[in-house]
Amino acid sequence: MQSDTIISARGLSKIYLVADTPVPALVDVDLDVKRGEFCCIVGTSGSGKSTLLYMLAGIETPTRGSITILGKRTDRMSEGQLVKFRRDNVGFVFQAFNLMPAMTAQQNVALPLSLKGVDRFERNLRAKRMLKAVGLEKHIRHRPMQMSGGQQQRVSIARALVTSPDIIFADEPTGNLDSHTGEEIIRLLSDEVRRHGKTLVMVTHDIEKAKYADQIVHIRDGRMIKIENNRQEEANKHENPGD
């Protein structure tokens, strides 16, 4: 594993049992993501994208294979260790936003900080700053129902970034948005992640949404079928014969 690799999966498989019948959702996937990279996982519905993302994020456990994140074997962690690992290192953006309906934008964004024990003054300040960064300074006191889908997804991006995690995972973050708003959200996500030197792993069924990614991983029927390197500097860099 190279030293700038932040996520490394080997032989990753997930087999669900449905009425005693094994359903192979993911088969023998190897994947490396570098620090600061935007990696996009692309495939049609049912190809295993969410399964892969949830295993990388430590939400699902693999049937087989290993996952190393920030030098730690997350596949060997207990549920308690995983909860702590996710809280300290990972932000998650969901297709359906998953905001708390009774809370304001600011309270939603501050929530992960309160789980980390940050005091009230500090967490309100950081939540406000983060909402400003995603263009929602005027919506701090709005509840999810009082915001558009695009605005709700901005809140959820602010919530994912507010603890300053090293890695952001996003599962079809534009799936519930119209294409114009979706485009804005991808740009915001990719800009914020790059500005702060974060690593982003995003899942989408829409190849058009992968255009800002450095690495594009194609999966079909649970298998990785192609990896595209989309990084401009890499493409222009000359091969070093001594390497």
Ligand X SMILES: Nc1ncnc2c1ncn2[C@@H]1O[C@H](COP(=O)(O)OP(=O)(O)O)[C@@H](O)[C@H]1O
Q: How far is the CB of 152 from ligand X (least distance, A)?
A: 21
Distance of closest approach, residue 141 Cβ to Mg ion, in angstroms: 33
* Residue 55 touches ligand X, criterion: CB under 6 A: no
In the bound state with ligand X, the residue whose beta carbon lies nearer, of 48 and 144, is 48
- When CB distances are held under 5 to 8 angstroms depending on the partner's kind, the choice from ligand X, Mg ion, none that residue 213 binds is none
Contacted by 107, from ligand X, Mg ion, none: CB < 5 to 8 Å by type: none
What residue type is 15 in one-letter code?
I
Q: What are the beta bridge partners of residue 168?
A: 91, 200
Q: How far apart are CA 15 and CA 96, in angstroms?
A: 25
Residue nearest Mg ion, Cβ-based: 50
Alpha-carbon distances of 227 from 33, 82, 153, 174, rounded to whole Å:
12, 28, 28, 22
- Out of 31, 37, 48, 199, name the contact with ligand X by CB under 6 A: 48
Is 71 a residue that touches ligand X (CB under 6 A)?
Answer: no
Q: Where are the beta strands (DSSP E) in the chain?
A: 5-18, 21-34, 38-42, 64-69, 72-73, 90-93, 167-171, 199-204, 215-220, 223-229
**Contact stretch for Mg ion (CB under 5 A) within 11-19, 49-57, 141-149, 210-218:** 49-57
Least CB distance to Mg ion at residue 48 (A)? 8
Is residue 140 a contact partner of residue 131, using CB atoms and an 8 Å limit?
Answer: yes
Residue 232 binds: one of ligand X, Mg ion, none (C-beta under 5 to 8 A by kind): none
- Give the interface size with Mg ion as a residue count (CB under 5 A): 1
* Cα distance between residue 237 and residue 211, in whole Å: 20
For the chain, the straight-line distance linking the first and the last C-alpha, in angstroms and rounded, comes to 15
Whole-number minimum distance, CB 7 to ligand X, in Å? 18
Q: What are the CA-CA distances from residue 229 to residues 41, 177, 183, 206, 226 (Å)?
A: 12, 27, 21, 17, 10
Q: Give the residue with the Cβ less far from ligand X, 46 or 71.
A: 46
- How many whole angstroms separate alpha carbon 216 and alpha carbon 229? 7
Site for ligand X in 1-40 (CB under 6 A): 16, 18, 23, 25
Q: Contacting Mg ion (CB under 5 A), which of 8, 13, 47, 50? A: 50
Q: Using the rule CB under 6 A, which residue among 2, 3, 21, 45 binds ligand X? A: 45
In the DSSP assignment, the letter for residue 219 is E
SS3 state at 226: strand
Give the residues across from 113 on adjacent strands.
none
Candidate segments 43-51, 79-87, 91-99, 232-240, binder of ligand X by CB under 6 A: 43-51
- DSSP label at residue 144: G
Tell me which residues touch Mg ion (CB under 5 A): 50
